[in-house]
Amino acid sequence: MANILFLAHRIPYPPNKGDKIRSWNFLKELAKEHTVHLGFFIDNPDDEVHVSFLENHTASLCFETVTPFKQKLLCLRSFLTNDALTVGAYPYGKLQKYVRSLIEKKEIDLIFLFSAATGPIVPNDIEIPVITDLVDVDSAKWGAYAENASFPMSWVYAREGKLLAHYERNLADRSKVAYLVSDQEVAVFKKDFKRSITAVRGLKNGVDIELFSPAQNRDAQKIIIFTGAMDYRPNVEAVTWFVEKVWEGVRIAEPSAKFVVAGGPENPVVRKLEGYEGVEVTGYVDSMPEMLQSADIAVAPLLTARGIQNKVLEAMACALPVVASTAANEGIEAEHGKAIYVGDTAADFKMHLLTLLEKPALRELVGQQARQFVETEFSWDSACKQLNQDITKVLADAR
């Protein structure tokens, strides 16, 4: 047993969006065998109700609230200090004081950083070993934004991509082990980087296959679903593209088909899509598994994607056939035509969707193969086993 400090850029509970699903599963695993101290930020006031739950799972806890307005002000300061906006967007003082106190009391054997944004909380000169979970190569995402934006945002995004890439790599250098969510992300991270970073490795996401399980009975209502956090730009881009470029062609061929966008928070751009025939925007939902179980097909038409898409894995775990972009399948690498259908054009998506809508037996077969794929390839037990092995080795080397 060790004393582990777990730091996250967002409260790691409830597991209702990609990063929180990953951080919660790792935190839960570490708390089984170790004494865990927890620090995090809260960016949604509704999440404060979950603090008491986390207190019951940890030895100590500290958090700092941050509002979107405050983050914008902090980002403006980052332009003056020449820092990456991702790193500069958080008020670190309270959590830094909490960490210094734990270190001075010699209560910490290892520090686990979840996301690059937590790096500034920890002093650079400490001897306590650090493990970092970068999750995705966020700097590459900002670079992709820059390529598709017009000035001045193209300059802002390019600046963020460059500065954040430098910070991510320096943080990996500070760490005994640094994780990314897939081997593909590791390859992106190491590309064009002159120094050798041997301790960077892929650590897959998992799926709660008991929670995300196949529906007992499907009514075959020809419901197509997209799930995700709708304050996330790639998700907004994806559903907007799908409705504007694909949906009309699907509805002409299948007038009874329905497209459901499930997930909050409310987004005015997404809400306007309800003006299209057959489109429903739910906002927050009480149970995402139930939403998936009520659908017939899931889509993930992401134009920009990093890491592994939990929305795809969760739909597959519910035995839904998924039509996804190449970017959305990256890191998952499910076989096209067997456990998933992959396409990148409006014509591809329309063809795959109509094929699946017209052939219920094929939908069922692809869904079954998708479920089997997830059960075999994406297990939290496997990911947590690797994490525990690395922690054991890092602690042994530090002694």
Residue for token pair 């929305």: 311
Side chain identity, residue 301: P
Residue 296 has pLDDT above 90, yes or no: yes
Please give the pLDDT value at position 266. 84
Q: What is the pLDDT of residues 96-109, one digit of tens each?
A: 999 999 999 999 99
Backbone angles phi, psi at 322, to 5 degrees: -120, 135
CB atoms within 10 A of CB 83: 18
The CATH fold assigned to 3-206+379-398 is: Rossmann fold (3.40.50)
Q: Map out the domains of the chain as residue ranges.
A: 3-206+379-398, 223-377
**pLDDT tens digits, 127-140:** 999 999 999 999 99
pLDDT band at 197 (very low <50, low <70, confident <90, very high): low
CA-based diameter of the chain, in Å?
A: 68
pLDDT in tens, 365-379: 999 999 999 999 998
Q: Where are the alpha helices (DSSP H) in the chain?
A: 18-33, 51-55, 68-81, 85-88, 93-104, 138-148, 153-174, 183-190, 233-241, 248-253, 268-271, 288-293, 310-317, 326-329, 346-358, 360-377, 380-398
Query: Minimal CA–CA distance to 19: which of 298, 221, 278, 306?
Result: 306
- DSSP, res 119: G
Q: What is the mean pLDDT of residues 4-15?
A: 97
pLDDT, tens digit, 9 for 90 and up, residues 272-289:
999 999 999 999 999 999
pLDDT at 250 over 70: yes
CA distance 118 to 178: 13
Q: How confident is the model at residue 193 (pLDDT cuts 50, 70, 90)?
A: low
Nearest-angstrom CA–CA distance, 263 and 260: 10
Burial class (CB in 10 A: 0-12, 13-18, 19+), 201: middle
Residues across the chain? 399
Q: What is the pLDDT of residue 17?
A: 85
pLDDT in tens, 299-334: 999 998 888 999 999 999 999 999 999 999 999 999
The CATH number for 223-377, chosen from 3.40.50.2000, 3.40.470.10, 3.40.50.2300, 3.40.50.300, is 3.40.50.2000
Query: Would the CATH topology of 3-206+379-398 be identical to that of 223-377?
Result: yes
Tell me the pLDDT band of 290, cut-offs 50, 70 and 90: very high
Distances (CA, A) of 328 to 19, 100, 303, 312: 16, 40, 8, 8
Using one digit for the tens of pLDDT, what is the confidence trace for 12-57? 999 988 899 999 999 999 999 999 999 999 999 999 999 999 999 9
Given a contact cutoff of 8 angstroms between Cβ atoms, the answer to whether 333 and 308 are in contact is no
Q: How far apart are CA 337 and CA 30, in angstroms?
A: 38
Q: Confidence class of residue 218 from pLDDT cuts 50, 70 and 90?
A: confident
Give the Cα separation of 226 and 314 in Å (integer).
11
Contact 55, 28 (CB under 8 A): no
Dihedral sign, CA of 279, 282, 283, 287?
negative
pLDDT score for 196: 57
3-state SS record for 22-68: HHHHHHHHHHHHCEEEEEEEECCHHHHHHHHHHHCCCCEEEEEECCH
pLDDT at 199 over 70: yes
Handedness of CA 125, 185, 334, 287 (dihedral sign): positive
List of residues 6+ apart from 165 with CB closer than 8 A: 137, 139, 140, 143
